[in-house]
Structures are given as structure tokens and as C-alpha cells.
């Protein structure tokens, strides 16, 4: 009766192992065979003369022992040798010196051997599961996952994925306004996977820039298809973010595509991030123009860039300074993070004259590409251009002499007319 129970116990062990997920057939056979061999080696000192055959489909196994035939009175090792008289019961034609093979029933090894096998298997299964879990999530680092809240602690939240694997969302990786109850579903990005003493620890994040990037990829098909690229992201989680995008197709407006019709695409992202305010801007490799766009909605009068020190001095009208800095300094902080430049803001007292005019106002008289060339050298207003020497504009903006002369004439005429009007008023 005991042996029958032990046999059933062995079959149950194989059945349990067969039901494990994420373990391929070859690995399963290899681990089972290794477990049997470990037990056999412990019992007999060696497993070299044993053949272990695993049949995972049926959930059973066979063990065959190979021994050398010796004379009955010459037997010295019952595990490696067998008496001639006993060998002929297996193979009537065998002779001394030949090898005979007989099947060994593992259950006959006793309960201790079976328990030893189950413990060995359990240990290897656990080790295999941990290895698989680590490998699985290591490959998924940087991707979004949805998991259910299982336990809420002060410093972190424990979540479970679809397969019951444990995931951790530390407090430091949560958006400040995040609040979850047990059973709720949370979306986050897999930030990293730690493996200390073969104990995988999967860390999630909702504050990582990659989380925002993946949300854009989900909501904006053009990004997922590679037509639009996210070049840079700056985030202050739960407060505000700036995203610089670039299109490889001139027919696609990258900012418009990311925002969507009436903000349809970006609204879903904002809701997921607890109403985090997101600014989407066009990326450019021209650092002066990029800094100008990064400081949006503020309009700058002029800019000086030191590329070696990665610093920029930005001059703005007094009324634009507060826009550039933003509430609580968020706007300029994000602009610095986005451009990776230290940006110093100055009030442009000379440019504060109300008579100054932004170059965009001259779009009917000056070609847009010429205006862009002037902006690229830090001139955004008419007086900023007029304050610069003619030769410097030609060299830095890479414009033809006649083009520069035409621009200067147009801008000068605008202010000359106003000056004359002012003089007439003075005479009266």
C-alpha cells in the first residue's frame, strides 16, 4: 500500500511540473532528469551507469541501470556489477564481461528517496520560475503594463500581473496625486528589474519620462509608425511637461498630430497623468530657436548662446518675463531640462519700448525664410535687428547683402515714420 502511495506521489509530482507555465519541453525534461540523477548519485555514489527517460506527455518516467556481468563469487559493487546467475534471469544468453540493463522502479528506493526527489524538484522549479520571471521582465523594461493593486503600504504599492507575479510601485515613482485602493488597475512603465540572490524584484514607475513617451506612442499612431519622433521630454510629474517632437514627413504637422482634433489625443494622456499640463513643441537642431520654443508661451527679444558652457542668456520684455519663468518657476525649469542648457532670463529694458515690433508682423513684406534666418541668430524683434551691424547680420544669418539691405530698409521705414509723427506732435 505504501509503495502504491509513493508511486501516486511521484506521478503527482510530474503532473504538477507539467502544469507549470513558461517552461519549455526541453527545459522541463532536462530539469527532471537532473533531479533524478542527483538523488541516484546521493544514494549510490554515481549516476553514470543509469539512463533516465522522461515522458512529459504522459507524466511518467523510466530508469534503466547498466551493470557488468561478473562471476557470482567476484561481485564487489552491486550498483555497477551483477552476478552471472542474476544476469541470466534478465538475459539468458549473457556472458561474464558483458553489460546487462534492467529497469529500476524508483518507488522501491523508499520514501526518503521520493521526498528527496520532491524537495530537489521543488527547489529547481522555484529557481527556474525566478529565472524565467527575471528574463521575461528584463526584456520588457521600458514598456507599459497594467496590474491590479494587491496591497497598499506607506512606502510602496504591491501589484499583481495577470499571472499573479508581484510588482512594486514605490512612493517615489508615483505621481503626487496618485491614490489607489485594493483591486484597482494601475498603468505604469516597467522601470527596472533587480535580481539580488536570485530573487527578482520588478520596479514600476509612473513618474519616469519613458512612461509619458509610451503613452504618446499608444495615443498617436504616427509616433508608433515612426513618422513622428519624440526627440526630448522634460517632466515635473503631476504638474507640467514639455515634449519636443519632429516629423520626417513634411506633410505631417507633428504638434497637431500629437495634440489631435480638439485635443482628443492629448486629453487621454493628461487624464492618465492626473491632469499634468503637457506642452508639445516642434524640435529643431538650432539651439537658439529650440530654446525660444522651449520657453513658450513667452516671446523673447534676443538671445546669446554659449555652446561650450551650454548656457544661454535670454532677453525679454518685462511683461514676458513672468511667462518665461512660469508659475513656481516651472516653465524655465522645464525649458532647461528639455534643452539641457542653463537659461538665464533678463529684462530687455531697451527692448521694452512699446514701439518695438516682432518680426512676424512683417510677414507681408519679408519672406518667412528670411525672418526664420534672423530668428536663428537671436533676433526676434525689429529693433533687435536694427541694433546689429549690417556686416554681422550678413555673416551670421548667411543672407545676401541685397536681402539684408531690403530688410533694414523695411524695418527702418517703420520706425522713421513713427519718429516723424512724434516730432510733428512735439512741434504742435
Q: What is the pLDDT of residues 226-244, one digit of tens each?
A: 999 999 999 999 999 999 9
Q: What is the pLDDT of residue 221?
A: 93
Q: What is the average pLDDT across 182-204? A: 93
Among the ranges 109-113, 230-234, 309-313, which has the highest mean pLDDT value?
230-234
Residue 75 sits at φ, ψ, to 5 deg, of: -70, 125
Q: How confident is the model at residue 419 (pLDDT cuts 50, 70, 90)?
A: very low
- To the question of domain 2-135 being in CATH 3.30.1480, the answer is yes
Are 408 and 390 contacting, i.e. CB atoms less than 8 angstroms apart? Answer: yes
Please return the burial class of 180, using the count of CB atoms within 10 Å of its CB with bins 0-12, 13-18 and 19+: middle
Q: Whose grid coordinates read 547680420?
A: 393
Q: How confident is the model at residue 350 (pLDDT cuts 50, 70, 90)?
A: low
Are 338 and 309 contacting, i.e. CB atoms less than 8 angstroms apart? Answer: no
Q: How confident is the model at residue 6 (pLDDT cuts 50, 70, 90)?
A: very low
CA distances from 210 to 107, 189, 270 (A): 55, 7, 15
Greater confidence, 98 or 31? 98
Whether the per-residue pLDDT at 333 is higher than 50: the answer is yes
- DSSP codes joined into one string, 288-356: HHHHHHHTTTS--SEEEEETTTTEEEEEE-HHHHHHHH-GGGHHHHHHHHHHTSEEEEEE-SGGG-TT-
Average pLDDT along the chain: 84
Whether the per-residue pLDDT at 170 is higher than 90: the answer is yes
Fold of 209-352: GMP Synthetase; Chain A, domain 3 (3.30.300)
Residue 204 sits at φ, ψ, to 5 deg, of: -105, 165
Cis check for the bond before 250: say yes or no (omega within 30 of 0). no
Nearest-angstrom CA–CA distance, 274 and 286: 33
Q: What is the pLDDT of residue 90?
A: 86
Q: How confident is the model at residue 426 (pLDDT cuts 50, 70, 90)?
A: very low
Q: How confident is the model at residue 59 (pLDDT cuts 50, 70, 90)?
A: low
Stretch among 58-72, 169-183, 280-294, 413-427 having the lowest mean pLDDT: 413-427
Q: How confident is the model at residue 7 (pLDDT cuts 50, 70, 90)?
A: very low
Whether the per-residue pLDDT at 10 is higher than 60: the answer is no
C-alpha grid cell, residue 354: 512699446
Nearest-angstrom CA–CA distance, 272 and 146: 12
Whether the per-residue pLDDT at 8 is higher than 70: the answer is no
Strands (E), 77-222: 81-83, 99-104, 144-152, 156-160, 166-170, 185-196, 199-205
Whether the per-residue pLDDT at 1 is higher than 50: the answer is no
Residues 246, 251, 252, 254: what is their CA dihedral angle, to the nearest 10 degrees? 40
Helix (H, G, I), strand (E, B) or coil at 20: coil
Nearest-angstrom CA–CA distance, 46 and 41: 4
Q: What is the average pLDDT across 355-359? A: 74
Stretch among 34-38, 64-68, 176-180 having the lowest mean pLDDT: 34-38
Nearest-angstrom CA–CA distance, 403 and 372: 13
Q: How confident is the model at residue 420 (pLDDT cuts 50, 70, 90)?
A: very low
C-alpha grid cell, residue 384: 533687435
Q: What is the pLDDT of residue 34?
A: 85
Q: What is the pLDDT of residue 332?
A: 93
Q: Where are the domains of the chain?
A: 2-135, 143-205, 209-352, 359-421
Q: What is the pLDDT of residue 213?
A: 96
Nearest-angstrom CA–CA distance, 274 and 294: 23
Checking phi first, is residue 306 left (phi over 0); if not, alpha (psi -120 to 50) or beta?
beta
Fold of 143-205: OB fold (Dihydrolipoamide Acetyltransferase, E2P) (2.40.50)
Nearest-angstrom CA–CA distance, 63 and 106: 7
Greater confidence, 301 or 312? 312
Nearest-angstrom CA–CA distance, 34 and 291: 63
Amino acid at each position: 500500500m505504501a509503495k502504491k502511495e509513493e508511486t501516486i506521489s511521484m506521478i503527482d509530482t510530474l503532473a504538477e511540473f507539467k502544469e507549470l507555465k513558461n517552461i519549455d519541453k526541453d527545459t522541463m525534461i532536462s530539469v527532471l532528469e537532473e533531479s533524478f540523477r542527483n538523488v541516484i548519485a546521493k544514494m549510490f555514489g554515481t549516476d553514470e551507469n543509469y539512463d533516465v527517460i522522461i515522458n512529459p506527455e504522459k507524466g511518467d518516467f523510466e530508469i534503466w541501470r547498466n551493470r557488468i556481468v561478473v562471476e557470482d563469487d567476484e561481485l564487489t559493487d552491486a550498483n555497477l556489477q551483477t552476478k552471472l546467475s542474476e544476469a541470466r534471469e534478465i538475459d539468458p544468453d549473457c556472458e561474464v564481461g558483458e553489460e546487462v540493463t534492467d529497469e529500476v522502479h524508483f518507488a522501491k528506493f523508499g520514501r526518503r528517496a521520493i521526498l528527496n526527489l520532491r524537495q530537489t524538484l521543488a527547489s529547481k522549479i522555484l529557481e527556474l520560475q525566478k529565472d524565467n520571471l527575471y528574463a521575461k521582465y528584463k526584456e520588457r523594461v521600458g514598456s507599459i503594463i497594467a496590474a491590479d493593486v494587491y496591497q497598499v503600504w506607506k512606502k510602496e504599492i504591491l501589484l499583481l500581473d495577470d499571472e499573479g507575479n508581484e510588482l512594486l510601485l514605490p512612493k517615489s515613482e508615483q505621481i503626487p496625486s496618485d491614490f489607489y485602493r485594493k483591486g484597482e488597475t494601475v498603468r505604469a512603465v516597467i522601470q527596472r528589474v533587480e535580481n539580488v540572490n536570485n530573487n527578482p524584484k520588478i520596479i514600476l514607475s509612473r513618474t519616469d519620462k519613458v512612461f509619458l513617451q509610451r503613452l504618446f506612442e499608444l495615443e498617436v499612431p504616427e509616433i508608433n509608425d515612426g513618422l513622428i519622433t519624440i526627440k526630448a521630454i522634460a517632466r515635473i510629474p503631476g504638474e507640467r511637461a514639455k515634449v519636443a517632437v519632429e516629423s520626417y514627413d513634411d506633410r505631417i504637422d507633428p504638434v497637431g498630430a500629437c495634440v489631435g482634433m480638439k485635443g482628443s489625443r492629448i486629453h487621454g494622456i493628461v487624464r492618465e497623468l492626473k491632469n499634468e499640463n503637457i506642452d508639445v513643441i516642434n524640435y529643431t537642431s538650432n539651439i537658439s530657436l529650440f530654446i525660444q520654443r522651449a520657453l513658450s508661451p513667452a516671446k523673447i527679444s534676443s538671445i546669446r548662446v554659449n555652446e561650450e558652457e551650454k548656457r544661454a542668456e535670454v532677453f525679454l520684455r518685462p511683461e514676458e518675463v513672468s511667462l518665461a519663468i512660469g508659475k513656481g518657476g516651472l516653465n524655465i525649469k522645464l525649458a532647461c531640462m528639455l534643452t539641457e542648457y542653463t537659461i538665464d532670463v533678463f529684462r530687455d529694458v531697451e527692448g521694452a519700448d512699446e514701439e518695438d515690433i516682432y518680426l512676424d508682423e512683417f510677414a507681408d513684406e519679408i519672406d518667412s525664410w528670411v525672418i526664420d534666418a534672423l530668428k536663428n541668430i537671436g533676433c526676434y524683434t525689429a529693433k533687435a535687428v536694427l541694433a546689429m551691424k549690417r556686416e554681422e547680420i550678413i555673416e551670421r544669418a548667411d543672407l545676401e547683402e541685397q536681402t539684408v539691405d531690403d530688410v533694414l530698409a523695411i524695418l527702418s521705414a517703420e520706425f522713421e515714420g513713427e519718429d516723424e509723427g512724434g516730432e510733428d506732435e512735439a512741434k504742435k
